Amino acid sequence: MSQVSKNSGDFFEKITALLKNARKKAIYSINQTMVYTYYEIGKIIIEEEQKGQKRAEYGKQLIKQLSQKLVKEFGKGFSKRNLEQMRLFYLTYSKTQTLSAEFRLSWSHYLFLTRIDNEDERKFYEIEAFENNWSLRELKRQFDSALFERLVLSRDKKGVKKLSEKGQIIKNPEDTLKDPYILEFLGLPEETRYSETDLEQKLIDKLENFLLELGKGYTFVGRQVRFTFDDKHFRIDLVFYNRLLQSFVLIDLKIGELSHQDLGQMQMYVNYYDRFVKLDHENKTVGMVLCKKKNDTLVEITLAENNEQIFASKYQTVLPSKKELKQLIENKLTDE
């Protein structure tokens, strides 16, 4: 066998990888150019509208005539509806200086983002969609599950501002937490009877979705992870590792109301991992009890005042009402 034949596999793989990378960059460049072009078209439409005396009527006629000419020359992509969307795109993103100037998302992403009235919320989803490489479908799912509102509820005013400026920054265990977690992808109706084993199996079956709901940096380690001491066996429902926190994250599932015994049991799990599993360079283990019902006062009294390791969050199997969550946010910000 010739030397060329021996090395041909690696040789072709290198060229294939190079071509795939070039194709990816070309697609990104084309997308960026297209979005920027649509932004400029929106700008020109607005500038031309401002010359008309009866702006509303003039604007309608302007877009209608422009659409007829562009469709004739360039095709259906320049319908009256599409031109109106370009106009709205410019109006939305010309008002503020944001990362949007780089146009790092697809046109479909931006069309969805322009429907979000709250500027801080819109900027948050834009940053997160780019950094986490969300598809349009995943962006819509995160918005429908009120990710922004759920994170806002666990932060002070400065923390809320950081969400819109930098997205979700993970430095401490608290930064990863949401309350509630939304598990609508499991297909379990709110009132259906199911066991903790059923819930666990559903989460494993939809592990990719669950990792997205957990947030940044999570990798799956195992389910029903067993450890033993003093001839007694214990099992942790789900074990994850967070690369950003550099720590294990233990999750215990409770389908009923949270009790102080549940928190005490999680404390024992966390202590075991800290003393016998984690490496010296890793940070302290985080424990989370995911429950159907939670009493905040019970959690506060049970856990130490300086607690940074044990947390409890509710879960819901149906999408929440964004209206109700926004009302909670308004009440929270008013109380601060």
Domain borders along the chain are: 1-95, 99-172+322-336, 181-319
**Bigger pLDDT: 200 vs 13:** 200
Q: Say what the pTM is.
A: 0.74
- State the alpha helices, DSSP H only, in the chain: 3-49, 55-74, 80-93, 107-113, 119-131, 136-144, 147-152, 157-166, 196-205, 207-214, 260-276, 296-302, 322-335
Share of the chain above pLDDT 90, in %: 43
Domain covering 181-319: architecture? 3-Layer(aba) Sandwich (3.40)
**Bigger pLDDT: 20 vs 262:** 262
How does pLDDT run across 210-220, given as a tens digit for each residue? 999 999 999 99
How does pLDDT run across 220-252, given as a tens digit for each residue? 999 999 999 888 899 999 999 999 999 999 999
The Cα 169–Cα 183 span in angstroms is: 23
How does pLDDT run across 103-157, given as a tens digit for each residue? 889 999 999 999 998 898 999 999 999 999 899 999 999 998 889 988 887 777 7
> Can you give 174-226 as a three-state secondary structure string?
HHHCCCCEECHHHCCCCCCCCCHHHHHHHHHHCHHHHHHHHCCCEEEEEEEEE
Pair 199, 219: CB distance under 8 Å: no
Give the pLDDT band of residue 100 (cuts 50, 70, 90): very low
Query: What average pLDDT is seen over the chain?
Result: 85
How does pLDDT run across 146-192, given as a tens digit for each residue? 899 888 877 777 777 788 888 888 888 888 888 888 898 888 876 66
